[in-house]
Structure 1
Amino acid sequence: MLRNHLLYLTSEQLCVYHWRLGKLTTGPCFASDDDGIDAFMDYIDAAPVGPCWLLTDLIEEDYHRLTLPHVSGKAGRQMLQRRLMQQYRETPYRHVSIQGRAPEGRRDDIALLSGLTNPSIVQPWIAALEALKAPLAGLYTTTLMSDVLRRKLGLHHEHLLLVTEQSGGLRQSYFRDGQLKFSRLTLAIDRDGVPVNVAAETGKTLQFLTSVHLIERGDVLHTAIVTPSDQIERLSALCRNGPETAYHFIPMETAAAKVGLPEAPRLADTLLLKLLGAELPRSHYTLGQARRYYQLWWARVAMYGASAAILGCTLMWAAVSLWRAGEADNAATRMRAETARYDSQYQAVMSDMPPAVARTANMKAAVAIERMLAEKGPAPLPMVRMLSNALERAPLIRLNRLDWRVDLPGAAPAPSAMQGPADSGPATPVPSRLLGLPSAPPQALHLEAEISGQQDDYRAALDAMRQFAQALAAQPHMAVEIESQPLDTRPTVKLSGKAGVTAGVTAEDKLKFALNLIWNP
């Protein structure tokens, strides 16, 4: 199984720690020479390669404070990179952080630049990881990680000097209002094997901070020393509070409990590694191409995760489909059983009934024919309705006679529906088309009417008759034929009558006309 590696690098050696499920375990250490690098490569190559985080604790680390014009966006980022390149031109491992803005004047940005001034210590180890194609996630420094330790310990003094003993030596990190301003690493044991006087080193640091105006005269520097419990008594005798210095001792057991370590270590290395594994912040120093194998590893993990999600969804969909198929089979079985039961009940009921006069299919066909006759069978009502609409717009027209019939080419003329019944005789078969099967037949309507009004106004009578005929012809599928007019104007007919006589008009003298209407629905 893949293991995540936390690598702790000092000037003398590199130690490997394993990180899994929030637990930190100690691994081997390798010297900073060719043999040590080869042994490190063999060790990494033998184990499944997981992500690696490299934490450095080096003396060759520089910090520079400056103010820059407040520029946002891409231009601001480019300005920071240019300034960082000018400050640390000889190393690719550089870092910049904005720590707020100046309270007065132009309110410029306050920037802290840092860099590893001796990259030759780090590069061989990074090259070894690249040769193994190990995913290097980031390059970190214990100085910037000490800010996380400060927050975990709850130290919020205005002027704070955090002192920790690490594998690389005695680390002193100065914080002002919670912002890292300066850090220095000194030897914890001098050349004679005597522990370094922490109070003396604190005094040197205070003198430097005063010279660069980070601390004013009269300000108190609170020095927090993280050390094992058995060293507090010895350090208390050396570190005396003064007018500008106040010492606070934090037992290593207390720090380990706040960080989450089950056992208190002798050095602060594991404290910072535990915080690194738990926080996994963004890389302090840029790695460039050295980080490409981590990006490839992350892309591969993302693809595996997506494949696992797709596989899980597929299995879930298959399980749901199988469950639905089973439910459908059960429902089909129940429906077949219910159908068989209803069939048996139907057969039992039908066995006790007398034989039916007609089959069900015949009855269904008869009902279908009856509906077709009702919808398409000929009837005078539609033509009478059209005639009624035309009469409403012709008040001078009076009907005298209507004769409706249905005629088909080649068929015997059907008696009029508005006349009396035909003489009884031998029954002849009626064509299906006359009944409206399969479509409605053409229908004819003969009407005789007269025109009321002045009897000698033949022009008005002719106009009324023509308007009435045109109104009928405007009906859909309607053809109108004028059989006779109120005044016969044909050249072969003798024109006769009396003009100017209105009184004593008989029925024979009224203006009459006849129309033949043919409607083909």
Structure 2
Amino acid sequence: MFTKHLFYLTSEQLCAYEWQGGRLTGGACFVNNRGGVDDFMDYIDSHHPGSPAYLLADLIEEDFQRVTLPHVRGGAARQLLQRRLTQQYRETPFRHHEVQGRETGGRRDDIVLLSALTNPSSVQPWVEALEQLRMPLAGLYSTTLLCEALVRKLRLNDAHLLLVTQQSAGWRQSYFQKGMLKFSRLTPAIDRDGNPVNIGAETAKTQQFLTSQRLMARGNPLQAVVIVPAADSGTLDAQCEDGPETIFRLMTLESVAAGTGLKAGDDDVADLAGRMAEPMLLALLARRPPESHYTLGTWQRYFKLWRARVNLYAVSAVMAICCAGWTGVNLWQEHQSNRDSIRLAAEAAHFDQQYRGTMAEIPPRVTSTANMRAAVNVERMLATQSATPLGLSAVVSEALESTPQIRLLQLDWKVSVPSSSAPAPGQDATQAAPISSLVAGIPGRAPQILMLEAEIMTEQDDYRNAVDSMTQFAKALARHPHLTVEVEKPPVDTRSSVKLAGKAGTQVAAPGHARFTLNLVWKP
């Protein structure tokens, strides 16, 4: 993984650490003046300036304001928050806001926590030095806002919680309501007389301030969690006595640091981790860095370029891995194909050998293989394409099923082939013309003609029924594709060229039988 540069900034100095492989090393400190900034730039030049940097500020000039704003969404909400931040903190570019819910009554306005570093001159020299060195600055963070993640990690879910930590700048007291930060103050660790401050007394002052600001009501117990080194727990235990509205709980710094996953590197860091809380907070920041608490604007451009470059490297690596995998699959498939080709070639040689052995045992052929193949093809054509009356007979049978009153009398089937009156070259005129190959279906099927003679079983003199039966029968035949039906002789000849004669009740054919003739022509 990448090396992360962690910088801990107070009003007096900046301490530089490195985080790599879950281990915090370093601890070089630089005084907050022009000479210290120059020494800091020399330090960065010799310690991987291309790695990302995280600046954690623990300043007394950090202000927190709790305001209510109308509940809006989208771009209007962002513009409203930015305008309110600018109005609240005009003199500093390092601002932060955090929406912490909505009010329960009235318009149900949003509850917003506004914070800012009110003295930008404590931060700007260090940020500008990193900008001059083109070092990717990932973000500017606050120890107070970072304690929200610490509270969640320690599972401190009290309704009113005061988290007290000992840091380089002094004692940091942060007030939380159900895990959400509401207020924070930084007090010196040594009073004006040079004596250590009394944590119990400072906690009482903070509780009185919270009550006066109506952040907590009177009568609500305040859970004060004090994180101290194990060596100082006895002294602080005597100072932190429970009161009617205050309950103290001491947690050792070593157990909390182990819970955050801090692994001390050199002796200096190990010694510092035993006295102060900043290595623990730096480890918490390095493991899961959130988005920058305070806006950096153009000071963050080199980090954005660094992140884009890392993303491009990651995408290139993924594409290289995919291409390597695809190449491996293709090589494996090629190997399999070569094996299959060798196997198929061996099988083909084996079959060729078997074929030659079988052909050697067969007696000499009467004709060539080509002639035998041609004969088989002709036989298949004769079997499938030669003209037979079976097809038309099936069509007629199907039509007779739908008209049972018609009885078939006679069928005259023939194949329609083109006739040629001129004799073929070399043929005697007295000899009969040769039969066309179309009769045998070579090269294609020939048209077929079927003359059908039938009679209609109907009552005597019922000519309308006879005509209707013949028409129904003809339509049933004409539904088949490629089949043309022509009425050659209707049961009642009503043509204008024929004389209509007879008497009612006179029988022309058999009693009650009307005969008709149809010509069926089937063309393939």
TM-score, with normalisation over the residues of structure 1? 0.80
Change in CA separation of 1:332 and 1:105 when aligned onto 2, cut-off 3 Å: same
Range with bigger deviation, 210-219 or 77-86? 210-219
> Is 1:255 matched with 2:218?
no
> Is 1:22 matched with 2:31?
no
1:294 maps to which of 303, 306, 323: 303
Aligned position for 1:269: 278
- Superposition RMSD in Å: 4.2
Kindly indicate whether the alpha-carbon contact (under 8 Å) linking 1:487 and 1:511 is maintained by their aligned counterparts in 2.
no
Change in CA separation of 1:411 and 1:451 when aligned onto 2, cut-off 3 Å: farther
Aligned position for 2:414: 404
Aligned position for 1:49: 50
Change in CA separation of 1:288 and 1:482 when aligned onto 2, cut-off 3 Å: same
Aligned position for 2:447: 442
Range with bigger deviation, 331-340 or 192-201? 192-201
C-alpha offsets along residues 379-409 of structure 1, whole Å, 9 cap, x if unaligned? 2334455566777769678746736354422
Q: Which runs of structure 2 are paired with 1:35-434 in the superposition (5 Å)? A: 35-46=35-46, 47-102=48-103, 107-190=108-191, 193-217=194-218, 220-262=221-263, 263=270, 264-385=273-394, 399=409, 402=412, 404-410=414-420, 429-434=434-439
Change in CA separation of 1:246 and 1:374 when aligned onto 2, cut-off 3 Å: closer
Kindly indicate whether the alpha-carbon contact (under 8 Å) linking 1:473 and 1:480 is maintained by their aligned counterparts in 2.
no
CA distance in 2, matches of 1:236, 1:468: 117
Range with bigger deviation, 270-279 or 190-199? 190-199
CA distance in 2, matches of 1:232, 1:489: 132
Aligned position for 1:419: none
Please report how far the alpha carbon of residue 95 of structure 1 lies from its aligned counterpart in structure 2 after TM superposition.
1.8
Please report how far the alpha carbon of residue 473 of structure 1 lies from its aligned counterpart in structure 2 after TM superposition.
7.9
User: Equivalent pairs: percent with the same residue?
Assistant: 49
Q: How many positions carry a matched residue from both structures?
A: 504
CA distance in 2, matches of 1:502, 1:146: 124
Kindly indicate whether the alpha-carbon contact (under 8 Å) linking 2:489 and 2:517 is maintained by their aligned counterparts in 1.
yes
CA distance in 2, matches of 1:130, 1:410: 106
Change in CA separation of 1:400 and 1:325 when aligned onto 2, cut-off 3 Å: closer
Q: Which structure is richer in relative contact order (CA contacts within 8 A, separation 6 or more)?
A: 2
C-alpha offsets along residues 398-453 of structure 1, whole Å, 9 cap, x if unaligned? 7467363544221799xxxxxxxxxxx99975432332211222344556778998
CA distance in 2, matches of 1:380, 1:134: 98
Aligned position for 1:478: 484
CA distance in 1, matches of 2:501, 2:245: 146
Please report how far the alpha carbon of residue 291 of structure 1 lies from its aligned counterpart in structure 2 after TM superposition.
2.6
Please report how far the alpha carbon of residue 65 of structure 1 lies from its aligned counterpart in structure 2 after TM superposition.
2.3
Structure 1 unmatched runs, 5+: 414-424
Change in CA separation of 1:198 and 1:481 when aligned onto 2, cut-off 3 Å: closer
Structure 2 unmatched runs, 5+: 264-269, 424-429
Kindly indicate whether the alpha-carbon contact (under 8 Å) linking 2:224 and 2:248 is maintained by their aligned counterparts in 1.
yes
CA distance in 2, matches of 1:219, 1:483: 119
Kindly indicate whether the alpha-carbon contact (under 8 Å) linking 1:461 and 1:511 is maintained by their aligned counterparts in 2.
no
CA distance in 2, matches of 1:64, 1:12: 25
Kindly indicate whether the alpha-carbon contact (under 8 Å) linking 2:483 and 2:520 is maintained by their aligned counterparts in 1.
no
Which residue identity is paired with 1:339?
Answer: A
Range with bigger deviation, 434-443 or 314-323? 434-443
CA distance in 1, matches of 2:321, 2:43: 36
CA distance in 2, matches of 1:145, 1:266: 19
Please report how far the alpha carbon of residue 139 of structure 1 lies from its aligned counterpart in structure 2 after TM superposition.
1.3
TM-score, with normalisation over the residues of structure 2? 0.80
Please report how far the alpha carbon of residue 276 of structure 1 lies from its aligned counterpart in structure 2 after TM superposition.
1.1
Structure showing greater radius of gyration is 1
